[in-house]
Amino acid sequence: MKLKYLSSAQLRWKWASCVEKSGRYTLLCCLLPVILATYWGGILHPQTEGLHHKITEMQKQLSIPLPLPEETKNTLTEKLSVTEYQQLRMLFDIFGRYHLQIESGNYNSAKVDNNETSALTLSIPLRGEWSALAQALRDISRALPIDVEKLTISRKQPDEQILTITLQLTLHRGNL
């Protein structure tokens, strides 16, 4: 099969004849699904695949226990398991990825309802922008078994971008 190449003048002639036969708006409306499919296939689909890949990598990281430094191993094993320590580390890594400044934090262990399973309640003061907080919470909710219990946001002045955030989370131990 021999391919026939058209010159730019021939392409313009073909385009003009199509416009003449169908009309400019009709032709553009017919090309819109082709443009949208190209946009989805070329831009959105690879981004979605990349996000799915990142989530699976995060979940793989959670399944492998990390070695702890010897000085913190004794104190953390009394209060936190290795998996909980990794989950907290991943939580703080996500906050760091979105440039949210963590000022301090505390945690308490509590029973969930009447079940024998327990949960870890975290209270974390942060500073950062709203869009970064929203993206971090989206990533955290996808990767970790966490419920947002309370979210308090304030700013010093109405035109200031940096928010003072108090975030209270519940990290569930075991499967949800």
Q: At 48, list the tokens.
A: 């979605």
Contact 105, 91 (CB under 8 A): no
> What's the confidence (pLDDT) of residue 76?
46
* Residue type at 74 in one-letter notation: N
Nearest residue to 92 via CA among 104, 83, 81: 104
Q: What is the pTM of this model?
A: 0.51
Burial of 112 (0-12, 13-18, 19+ CB in 10 A): middle
User: Using N-to-C axis directions, what is the helix angle for 8-22 and 24-39, rounded to 10°?
Assistant: 120
Nearest residue to 92 via CA among 81, 101, 82, 80: 101
Q: How far apart are CA 47 and CA 58, in angstroms?
A: 17
Give the alpha-carbon dihedral of 34, 39, 41, 43, to 10 degrees. 170
- Per-residue pLDDT of the chain in tens (176 residues, 90 and over written 9): 566 777 888 888 988 898 888 888 888 888 889 888 888 888 888 888 989 999 998 888 877 765 655 655 555 445 566 677 788 888 888 988 988 888 777 767 665 555 555 677 888 888 999 899 899 989 988 888 888 888 888 888 888 888 888 888 888 765 44
Q: At 120, list the tokens.
A: 């870890």
- CATH architecture of the domain formed by 84-172: 2-Layer Sandwich (3.30)
